[in-house]
């Protein structure tokens, strides 16, 4: 806690501005800033002076205004300084080299090249500078043209000057050019990077599986022959499909140039088409087939909807079968159970009978060439043929209790991965969305209604339900968290009837305001499942609590991680 | 009919200290109708939504022709975060009135503020950042300390990434990636390095140290921090006052007045129930001979945020208040 002496200097300064202010009151104010708001006296000085000026009925002194650089229009590069921004200048474009770069998972075109000033004077002296185009102005920056650049900025790097043409910059073509911009050919990139890309890619990879398949065309007009399989390098694996001849055996090392990246559900795949060039590649140092096969075995946390050729070992914790009538009227049986491994939980579905009965679980099962399908948003393993499964003699880890199994995952890791069940994670509540509290569900489709009407089924008397919609955010990722009635009741410590009573009079405004002030800015922990797709993340919570934090430990972790000590 | 509405992912709330935000001068994005707008900081954070905390330092209500708006500031260890609550957010007004009353009575409190980054250009071409408040809560010291630690962590992560980026051969995103810059910072750092050039992040590190110490209960100020020009203490107050001044003095500038009149007329004339979209405003402006899109954009924001003549009911769509 603070003692008055430590503010001596600051108190004197305040007294200079407000001579009549009471010293102990000033000290109290500084102590309050320090203890309650964590603001040191030096930083609180201005606020405290203002406070006492106001109290004394004095005019609060207004500080001067500062000036910043305005837009600058020049004719020659030599008129520019290294810190100039918002510059307007007319230049001749000498070269323009586009480059594809990955920006937030999307392929984006940036470019660099040369420009020269003094573009109009025939035979006049010109200065040449580099430029970078961040705003995809390729159309207006053809080599040979003369353009006016507006809102560009100067960059100095090791004494060398260049211009940045930004997204907000404007390029006005003053004299057009005939030449066209040609795309730069792509270099080989790692599979790890391809998995996050769209567009075209060139890879050097080894074939680890390849299988001739025949598929029916969707419109029923016949069949297509294709080869499907999997490629690997030491950064990961990716499926491929080839619609032409593919005569390379498993184990072959290939360079595949400009294959299209297609996504099936959440799983990217390389399409080898007519314009793709495939050739044998020689590299003694490339990872061997054995190593690549071993490292391509997956864990539950890595499963993605739509994946095929998956190799994985899981522990089965339950097993049962059910009969149903298929579309063709025949009675069929499907088997299924809950699977876990140290990284998560999922379902396992089998379309042919496996040598397992209900009494034999828990047991370990090794699967190969199985596929992943999503069920209720989280990925499940699907076994089609008995030879894809092998029962192991022993479970390769301490037996996991599936009913309480949840894996603690860092929030950003969870949200930048694929859908998962059985996870626990924590992040800060950044918003309590309207529509939290008592809602009305449509009796027909169970969807939440708005203003007494269902979007599909029109106005009607809805069924009341309790739900909370919360945005969790850790500063790098965010997701919408849904608490259903049960988990909301547990979190609130209130029954739905309590909430109904509390929200009856004002339509829930006070209830929501109270929730916001209790939750906003505070870190919370949830357990449940995460459904992740390109539109965002939906988190379904089985339980939700305020996170118990040890501040000192947290601060220490940050100091250790980044080596910041004073 | 509405155009094909592309749903963007919800923007994550950047954690950053005041100084990193108010020292930024690089806008990014917002080209298409529904593209989010960002402010790129010197550390490469692309800030759209932001989450900041601090003790309230200013809070006032201003009456405009279109209704009341509120502007305020919270102080963190590095300076002031300026924010405003527009007249188009009446749902926050009732509580704001109460807070203003508390503030005017001399009460001070810690706030957690969530909002969107925003910028405008002053008459003299200066670049100003501020936050449009979406939501807030009065918090206690524990929550504030947690934010300090979390924000220190994020700031250090960016400082570390900047160091890696500076060792890269070029600012090309592949080169940055190869230098070990985390994927979410590659884009912003590329933009930042080209815009801000070479500089030393040591001053930001001092802010981090100050925040961590405060969170641990050692509330001290570091001399280097005070000494490093421009002293945040003065800069931010100047910024804010300049901002306020410019908001009031802009109409006296002739060029701006012209743009303002035209933009207002266009919006009044063409806004349907949905409003008029950004691109159409630009087209109409071009037809009337106004082609400086940056100035028009600034004017739209100034009309929306400072003068409160227009509102943005849906992202990229404007209508008169």
The DSSP line for A354-393 is -S--GGG-SEEEEEEEEEEEEETTEEEEEE-SGGGEEE-S
Flag whether pLDDT at B141 surpasses 90: yes
Closest CA to A365 of A404, A321, A396: A396
Confidence bin at B257 (pLDDT 50/70/90): low
Based on the fold, state whether residues B164 and B275 are members of the same structural domain.
Answer: no
Based on the fold, state whether residues B143 and B247 are members of the same structural domain.
Answer: no
Flag whether pLDDT at B139 surpasses 90: yes
Q: Which helix (H) or strand (E) holds A32?
A: helix A23-37
How far is the alpha carbon of A185 from chain B, nearest alpha carbon, in Å? Answer: 15
CB contact under 8 A, B174 and A102: yes
Based on the fold, state whether residues B308 and B211 are members of the same structural domain.
Answer: no
Flag whether pLDDT at A297 surpasses 90: no
Based on the fold, state whether residues B172 and B308 are members of the same structural domain.
Answer: no
Based on the fold, state whether residues B53 and B202 are members of the same structural domain.
Answer: yes
Flag whether pLDDT at B252 surpasses 50: no
Residue B222 forms part of a structural domain:
no
> Which of A7-11, A550-554, B191-195 bottoms out in mean pLDDT, i.e. has the lowest?
A7-11
Q: Are the beta carbons of B140 and A517 closer than 8 angstroms?
A: no
| Residue, of A295 and A482, whose pLDDT is higher | A482
Which among B172, B205, B237 is the nearest to A101, CB-wise? B172
DSSP secondary structure, B119-179, as one string: EEE-TTS-EEEEEEEEEEEEE-HHHHHHHHHHHHHHHHHHHHHHHHHHTSSSSSHHHHHHT
In chain A, helix, strand, coil percent, each to 5?
A: 20, 40, 40
Residue B16 forms part of a structural domain:
yes
pLDDT at residue A2, rounded to an integer: 59
Q: Given B159, B185, B215, which residue is the final one in a domain? A: B215
CB contact under 8 A, B139 and A516: no
Confidence bin at A508 (pLDDT 50/70/90): confident
Rounded mean pLDDT of A287-294? 86
Cα–Cα distance for residue pair B16/A407, rounded to 1 Å? 30
Average pLDDT, chain B: 81
pLDDT in tens, A326-348: 888 888 899 999 899 988 888 99
What's B301's DSSP letter?
A: H
Based on the fold, state whether residues B211 and B285 are members of the same structural domain.
Answer: no
CB contact under 8 A, B51 and A104: no
Residue B1 forms part of a structural domain:
no
pLDDT at residue B255, rounded to an integer: 53
CB contact under 8 A, A63 and B238: yes
CB contact under 8 A, A558 and B10: no
Q: Which of A174-178, A401-405, A528-532 has the highest mean pLDDT?
A: A528-532
Is B100 an 8 Å CB contact of chain A?
no
Instruction: Give the rounded percent of residues in chain A with a pLDDT score beyond 90.
Output: 32
CB contact under 8 A, B125 and A132: no
pLDDT in tens, A223-250: 888 898 899 998 888 999 998 788 899 9
Rounded mean pLDDT of B48-60? 95
Report the largest interatomic distance among the alpha carbons of chain B, rounded to a whole angstrom: 61
Flag whether pLDDT at B228 surpasses 60: no
B241: domain CATH number is: 1.10.10.10
Based on the fold, state whether residues B86 and B209 are members of the same structural domain.
Answer: yes
Average pLDDT, chain A: 85
Based on the fold, state whether residues B285 and B149 are members of the same structural domain.
Answer: no
How many domains does the structure of chain B reveal? 2
Based on the fold, state whether residues B199 and B239 are members of the same structural domain.
Answer: no
pLDDT in tens, A125-181: 888 898 988 877 777 787 778 888 988 888 887 778 889 888 777 888 787 765 544
Residue B226 forms part of a structural domain:
no
Is A521 an 8 Å CB contact of chain B?
yes
Flag whether pLDDT at A421 surpasses 70: yes
Q: Given B187, B215, B243, which residue is the final one in a domain? A: B215
Residue B296 forms part of a structural domain:
yes
Chain B residue with minimum CA distance to A519: B137
Chain centroid to CA B291? 25
Based on the fold, state whether residues B87 and B159 are members of the same structural domain.
Answer: yes
Rounded mean pLDDT of A87-95? 88
pLDDT at residue A144, rounded to an integer: 79
Question: Cis peptide leading into B65, omega within 30 of 0?
Answer: no
> Which of A306-315, A494-503, B13-22 bottoms out in mean pLDDT, i.e. has the lowest?
A306-315
Based on the fold, state whether residues B52 and B194 are members of the same structural domain.
Answer: yes
> Which of A7-21, A311-325, B143-157 bottoms out in mean pLDDT, i.e. has the lowest?
A7-21
| Residue, of A255 and A275, whose pLDDT is higher | A255
> Which of A59-63, A301-305, A415-419 bottoms out in mean pLDDT, i.e. has the lowest?
A59-63
The contacts of residue A3 (CB under 8 Å, 6+ apart) are none
Instruction: Give the rounded percent of residues in chain A with a pLDDT score beyond 70.
Output: 92
| Residue, of B73 and A404, whose pLDDT is higher | B73
CB contact under 8 A, B294 and A151: yes
Chain B residue with minimum CA distance to A556: B212
Flag whether pLDDT at B7 surpasses 60: no
Cα–Cα distance for residue pair B47/B82, rounded to 1 Å? 15
CB contact under 8 A, A102 and B177: yes
CB contact under 8 A, A536 and B194: no
Is B208 an 8 Å CB contact of chain A?
yes
Rounded mean pLDDT of B146-165? 96
Is A160 an 8 Å CB contact of chain B?
no
Cα–Cα distance for residue pair A22/A457, rounded to 1 Å? 69
CB contact under 8 A, A156 and B197: yes
Based on the fold, state whether residues B109 and B186 are members of the same structural domain.
Answer: yes
pLDDT at residue A183, rounded to an integer: 41
The contacts of residue A318 (CB under 8 Å, 6+ apart) are A337, A338, A358, A361, A402
pLDDT at residue A50, rounded to an integer: 84
Chain centroid to CA B126? 14
Which among B51, B110, B153 is the nearest to A37, CB-wise? B110
pLDDT in tens, B282-311: 878 877 777 777 778 778 877 777 666 787
Flag whether pLDDT at A425 surpasses 70: yes
ipTM of the complex, rounded to two decimals = 0.70
Is B93 an 8 Å CB contact of chain A?
no
pLDDT at residue A65, rounded to an integer: 34
Confidence bin at B59 (pLDDT 50/70/90): very high
> Which of A342-346, B131-135, B206-210 bottoms out in mean pLDDT, i.e. has the lowest?
A342-346
Flag whether pLDDT at B74 surpasses 50: yes
How far is the alpha carbon of B229 from chain A, nearest alpha carbon, in Å? Answer: 14
Q: Which of A184-193, A369-378, A547-556 has the highest mean pLDDT?
A: A547-556
pLDDT at residue A566, rounded to an integer: 65
| Residue, of B120 and B104, whose pLDDT is higher | B104
Residue B82 forms part of a structural domain:
yes
> Which of A47-56, A235-244, B237-246 bottoms out in mean pLDDT, i.e. has the lowest?
B237-246
Q: Helix, strand or coil for residue B306?
A: helix
Give me the residues paired with residue B119 across strands: B129
A269-to-A191, A241, A260, A378 alpha-carbon distances in Å:
11, 7, 8, 20
Is A170 an 8 Å CB contact of chain B?
yes
Which residues numbered 221-240 in B keep a CB inside 8 Å of some CB on A?
221-222, 226, 233-235, 237-239
Q: Are the beta carbons of B46 and B189 closer than 8 angstroms?
A: no
Residue B54 forms part of a structural domain:
yes
B61: domain CATH number is: 2.40.50.140
Confidence bin at A434 (pLDDT 50/70/90): confident
Confidence bin at A106 (pLDDT 50/70/90): low
Residue B225 forms part of a structural domain:
no
pTM, whole model, 2 decimals? 0.64
Is A57 an 8 Å CB contact of chain B?
no
CB contact under 8 A, A63 and B241: yes
Flag whether pLDDT at B242 surpasses 80: no
pLDDT at residue B8, rounded to an integer: 66
Domain of residue B263, residue span: 234-320
| Residue, of B202 and B226, whose pLDDT is higher | B202
Chain A residue with minimum CA distance to B171: A132
Taking the CB of residue A401, how many other CB atoms lie within 10 A of it?
A: 10
Flag whether pLDDT at A472 surpasses 50: yes
pLDDT at residue B233, rounded to an integer: 36
Q: Given B186, B215, B244, which residue is the final one in a domain? A: B215
CB contact under 8 A, B122 and A134: no
């Amino acid at each position: 806690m603070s003692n008055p002496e430590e503010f001596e200097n600051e108190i004197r300064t305040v007294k200079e501005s407000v001579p009549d202010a009471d010293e102990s009151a000033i000290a109290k104010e500084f102590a309050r800033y320090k203890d309650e708001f964590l603001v040191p006296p030096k930083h609180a000085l201005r606020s405290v002076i203002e406070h006492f000026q106001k109290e004394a009925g004095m005019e609060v002194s207004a500080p001067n205004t500062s000036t910043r650089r305005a837009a600058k229009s020049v004719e020659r590069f030599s008129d520019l300084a290294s810190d100039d921004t918002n510059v307007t200048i007319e230049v001749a474009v000498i070269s323009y080299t586009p480059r594809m770069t990955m920006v937030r998972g999307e392929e984006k075109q940036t470019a660099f090249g040369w420009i020269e000033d003094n573009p109009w004077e025939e035979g006049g002296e010109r200065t040449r500078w580099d430029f970078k185009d961040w705003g995809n102005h390729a159309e207006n920056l053809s080599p040979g043209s003369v353009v006016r650049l507006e809102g560009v900025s100067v960059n100095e790097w090791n004494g060398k000057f260049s211009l940045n043409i930004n997204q907000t910059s404007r390029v006005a073509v003053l004299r057009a050019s005939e030449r066209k911009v040609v795309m730069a050919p792509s270099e080989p990139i790692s599979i790890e990077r391809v998995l996050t890309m769209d567009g075209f890619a060139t890879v050097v990879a080894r074939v680890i599986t390849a299988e001739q398949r025949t598929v029916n065309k969707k419109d029923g007009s016949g069949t297509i022959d294709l080869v499907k399989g999997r490629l690997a390098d030491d950064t990961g694996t990716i499926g491929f499909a080839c619609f032409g001849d593919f005569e390379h055996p498993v184990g072959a090392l290939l360079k595949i140039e400009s294959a299209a990246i297609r996504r099936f559900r959440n799983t990217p795949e390389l399409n080898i088409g007519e314009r793709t060039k495939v050739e044998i590649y020689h590299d003694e140092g490339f990872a061997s087939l054995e190593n690549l096969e071993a490292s391509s075995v997956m864990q539950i946390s890595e499963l993605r909807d739509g994946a095929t050729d998956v190799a994985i070992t899981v522990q089965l914790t339950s097993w049962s079968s059910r009969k149903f009538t298929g579309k063709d009227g025949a009675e069929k049986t499907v088997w299924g159970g809950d699977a876990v491994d140290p990284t998560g939980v999922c379902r396992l579905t089998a379309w042919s009978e496996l040598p397992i009965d209900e009494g034999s679980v828990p047991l370990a099962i090794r699967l190969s060439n199985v596929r992943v399908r999503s069920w209720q948003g989280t990925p499940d393993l699907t076994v089609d043929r008995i030879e894809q499964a092998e029962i192991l003699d022993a479970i390769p880890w301490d037996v996991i209790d599936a009913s309480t199994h949840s894996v603690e995952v860092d929030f950003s890791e969870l949200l930048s991965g694929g859908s998962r069940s059985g996870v626990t994670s924590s992040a800060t509540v950044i918003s309590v969305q309207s529509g939290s509290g008592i809602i009305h569900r449509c009796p027909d489709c169970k969807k939440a209604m708005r203003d007494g009407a269902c979007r599909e089924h029109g106005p009607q008397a809805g069924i009341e339900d309790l739900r909370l919609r919360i945005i969790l955010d850790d500063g790098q990722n965010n997701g919408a968290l849904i608490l259903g009635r049960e988990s909301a009741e547990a979190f609130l410590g209130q029954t739905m009837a309590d909430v109904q009573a509390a929200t009856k009079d004002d339509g829930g405004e006070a209830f929501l305001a109270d929730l916001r002030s209790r939750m906003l800015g505070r870190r919370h922990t949830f357990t449940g499942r995460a459904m992740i797709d390109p539109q965002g993340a939906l988190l379904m919570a089985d339980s939700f609590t305020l996170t118990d934090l040890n501040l000192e430990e947290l601060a220490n972790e940050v100091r250790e991680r980044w080596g910041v000590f004073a | 009919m509405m155009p094909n509405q592309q749903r963007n992912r919800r923007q994550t709330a950047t954690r950053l200290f005041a100084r990193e935000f108010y020292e930024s001068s690089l806008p990014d994005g917002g080209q298409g109708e529904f593209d989010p707008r960002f402010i790129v900081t010197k550390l490469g954070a692309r800030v759209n939504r932001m989450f900041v905390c601090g003790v309230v330092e200013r809070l006032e209500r201003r009456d405009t022709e279109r209704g009341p708006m509120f502007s305020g500031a919270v102080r963190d260890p590095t300076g002031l975060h300026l924010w405003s609550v527009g007249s188009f957010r009446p749902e926050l007004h009732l509580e704001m009135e109460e807070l203003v009353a508390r503030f005017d009575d001399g009460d001070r409190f810690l706030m957690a503020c969530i909002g969107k980054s925003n910028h405008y250009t002053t008459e003299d071409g200066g670049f100003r950042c501020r936050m449009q408040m979406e939501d807030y809560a009065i918090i206690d010291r524990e929550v504030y300390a947690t934010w300090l630690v979390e924000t220190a962590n994020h700031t250090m992560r960016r400082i570390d990434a900047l160091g890696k980026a500076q060792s890269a051969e070029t600012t090309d995103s592949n080169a940055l990636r190869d230098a070990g810059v985390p994927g979410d910072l590659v884009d912003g750092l590329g933009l930042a390095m080209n815009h801000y050039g070479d500089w030393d992040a040591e001053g930001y590190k001092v802010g981090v140290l100050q925040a961590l110490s405060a969170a641990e209960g050692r509330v001290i100020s570091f001399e280097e921090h005070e000494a490093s020009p421009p002293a945040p203490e003065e800069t931010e107050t100047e910024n804010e006052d300049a901002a306020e001044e410019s908001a009031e003095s802009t109409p006296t500038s002739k060029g701006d007045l012209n743009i303002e009149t035209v933009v207002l007329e266009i919006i009044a004339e063409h806004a349907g129930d949905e409003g008029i979209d950004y691109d159409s405003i630009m087209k109409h402006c071009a037809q009337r001979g106004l082609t400086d899109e940056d100035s028009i954009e600034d004017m739209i924001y100034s009309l929306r945020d400072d003068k409160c003549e227009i509102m943005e009911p849906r992202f990229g769509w404007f209508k008169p208040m």
